[in-house]
């Protein structure tokens, strides 16, 4: 099968951890590699951010990345990319008219818009993975939401017009149905993890306290690192390591890093909070294995790959019950779930888990088993291929040739 993945802002070649570079980059890279291992021809189309980057890059993992010129060849925040999607779509259409793929898989809403515009009239099915929905983002961020005002309207349009949707969690399915998308065209295909890279055996980072909590993510307020910092004074002999953000040498000028350090000082735990900055995917298993508990306390989380990586390393997870975290973390089996921003529940839960090494081991073993059974990228690729096949059947039956209205 010839597969075109469209990921307008999240290149599979990007360095992770910076603002705007995170789980979607990993998802696109790992899914593309898993599809290539199955013998499929995979091309990822992403917006050019470097004027010197070659038009096409053949990766060692077997897929090709095509850099599409749309707007200036420099980094632009994803929420400012909508004006360039017409140009992006024109280039996609030129590629696909000459050599159409069997299926187009769009990642993020702007990729879906460009894919629908480019595939119109070609009879090629378009599958959509949103990764995050504007309605959810606005619900939690309100005036802090920097998305274009057209986003929620266009997401409803995309949901109606694409052939099928691969939602990453059950919470997203409910949200899509509330938006008016027929349930019958939605499949749930979660994100995955590489269980060979993330495993229980291997090196562990050095520790500085009796207990260690680890939190991972981009340094943005919605990740909720301040929640964990604010309860650390009630957890004696426990250190918190936060990984993510810019390289270590740039942390001093990072607005969110400075805010978190001020909070740590205010609660008297500055000496027990370590901000590592950017950590490579190669080094991440070593860090996760050093933790007694991996803590995930975002305001909301469309999916969240970090809990899967922790579970693959046989480390228990304490997470807030929001978004995709309610699917991946099985409360009382692979870890614990608490209500978002409930500091009392978070302290109580962390105390219980940190005080019981047998419980932590049981959670870790169960988490590792769950990842290997459900969340390997090869399993995710198989589930995604089933979505593609269903989309192809729908397209063939409908004879889809209509162009999407905008």
> Which DSSP string do the residues of 130-177 spell out, in sequence order?
-SS-HHHHHHHHGGG--S-TTHHHHHHHHHHHSSEEEESSHHHHHHHH
- The 10 Å CB-count burial string (b at 16+, else e) for 92-117 is bbebbeeeebbbbbbbbbbbbbbbbb
Query: pLDDT per residue over 366-406, tens digit each?
Result: 999 999 999 999 999 999 999 999 998 766 555 544 444 44
State residue 401's pLDDT score: 44
Confidence of residue 341 (pLDDT cuts 50, 70, 90): confident
In angstroms, the CA 149 to CA 151 distance is: 6
φ/ψ bin of 145: left (φ > 0), alpha (ψ from -120 to 50), beta (otherwise): beta
The sign one gets for the Cα dihedral 284, 285, 290, 296 is: positive
Confidence of residue 142 (pLDDT cuts 50, 70, 90): confident
Give the domain ranges of the chain.
2-192+377-398, 211-374
φ/ψ (deg, to 5) at 220: -135, 150
Who contacts 354 (Cβ-Cβ below 8 Å, separation ≥6)? 211, 235, 238, 292, 293, 360
Domains 2-192+377-398 and 211-374 agree in fold: yes
Asked if residue 238 has pLDDT above 50, the reply is: yes
The domain made up of 211-374 is a member of CATH 3.10.310.30: no
State residue 16's pLDDT score: 41
Asked if residue 59 has pLDDT above 60, the reply is: yes
Average pLDDT over residues 342-348: 96
Average pLDDT over residues 136-156: 90
> Taking all residues of the chain, what is their mean pLDDT, rounded to a whole number?
93
Cβ–Cβ < 8 Å for 228, 315: no
State residue 193's pLDDT score: 94
**What's 376's DSSP letter?**
B
φ/ψ (deg, to 5) at 22: -160, -130
Average pLDDT over residues 35-58: 96
In angstroms, the CA 112 to CA 226 distance is: 34
State residue 129's pLDDT score: 98
Pairing state between β 238-243 and 211-216: parallel
Cβ–Cβ < 8 Å for 291, 311: no
Strand partners, 2: 41
In angstroms, the CA 205 to CA 190 distance is: 29
Q: Which CATH architecture has domain 2-192+377-398?
A: 3-Layer(aba) Sandwich (3.40)
Pairing state between β 126-129 and 2-6: unpaired
pTM of the model: 0.89
In angstroms, the CA 350 to CA 317 distance is: 10
Q: Is 311 helix (H, G, I), strand (E, B) or coil?
A: helix
Asked if residue 242 has pLDDT above 90, the reply is: yes
In percent, the amount of the chain with pLDDT more than 70 equals 95
**Token code pair at residue 256:** 């969110």
Of 140, 142, 169, 173, nearest to 300 by C-alpha is 140
What separation in angstroms does the CA of 17 have from each of 111, 119, 317? 21, 32, 20
Of 353, 348, 302, nearest to 327 by C-alpha is 302
């Amino acid at each position: 099968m010839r597969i075109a993945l469209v990921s307008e802002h999240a290149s599979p070649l990007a360095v992770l951890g910076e603002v705007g570079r995170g789980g979607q980059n990993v998802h696109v890279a790992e899914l593309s590699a898993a599809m290539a291992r199955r013998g499929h021809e995979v091309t990822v189309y992403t917006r050019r951010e470097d004027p010197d980057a070659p038009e096409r890059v053949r990766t060692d993992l077997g897929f090709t990345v095509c850099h599409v010129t749309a707007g200036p060849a420099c980094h632009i925040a994803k929420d400012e990319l909508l004006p360039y999607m017409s140009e992006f779509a024109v280039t996609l259409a030129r590629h696909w008219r000459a050599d159409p793929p069997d299926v187009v898989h769009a990642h993020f809403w702007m990729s879906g818009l460009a894919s629908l515009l480019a595939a119109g009239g070609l009879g090629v099915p378009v599958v959509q993975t949103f990764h995050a929905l504007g309605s959810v983002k606005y619900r939690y961020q309100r005036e802090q939401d920097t998305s274009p005002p057209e986003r929620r309207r266009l997401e409803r349009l995309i949901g109606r017009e694409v052939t099928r949707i691969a939602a990453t969690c059950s919470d997203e399915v409910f949200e899509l149905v509330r938006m008016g998308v027929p349930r019958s065209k939605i499949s749930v295909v979660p994100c995955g993890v590489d269980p060979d890279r993330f495993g229980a055996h291997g090196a562990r980072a050095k520790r500085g306290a009796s207990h260690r909590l680890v939190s991972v993510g981009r340094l943005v307020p919605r990740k909720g690192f301040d929640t964990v910092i604010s309860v650390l004074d009630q957890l004696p002999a426990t250190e918190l390591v936060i990984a993510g953000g810019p390289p270590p040498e740039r942390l001093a000028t990072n607005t969110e890093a400075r805010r978190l350090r001020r909070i740590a000082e205010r609660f008297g735990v500055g000496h027990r909070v370590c901000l590592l900055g950017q950590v490579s995917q190669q080094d991440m298993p070593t860090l996760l294995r050093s933790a007694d508990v991996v803590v995930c306390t975002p305001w909301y989380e469309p999916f969240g790959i970090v809990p899967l990586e922790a579970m693959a390393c046989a480390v228990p997870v304490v997470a807030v019950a929001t978004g995709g975290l309610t699917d991946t973390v099985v409360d009382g089996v692979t870890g614990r779930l608490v209500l978002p921003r409930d500091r009392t529940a978070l302290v109580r839960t962390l105390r219980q888990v940190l005080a019981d090494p047998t419980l932590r081991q049981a959670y870790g073993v169960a988490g590792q088993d769950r990842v290997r059974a459900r969340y390997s990228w090869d399993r995710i690729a198989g589930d995604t291929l089933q979505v593609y096949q269903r989309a192809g059947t729908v397209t063939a039956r409908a004879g889809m040739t209509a162009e999407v209205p905008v």
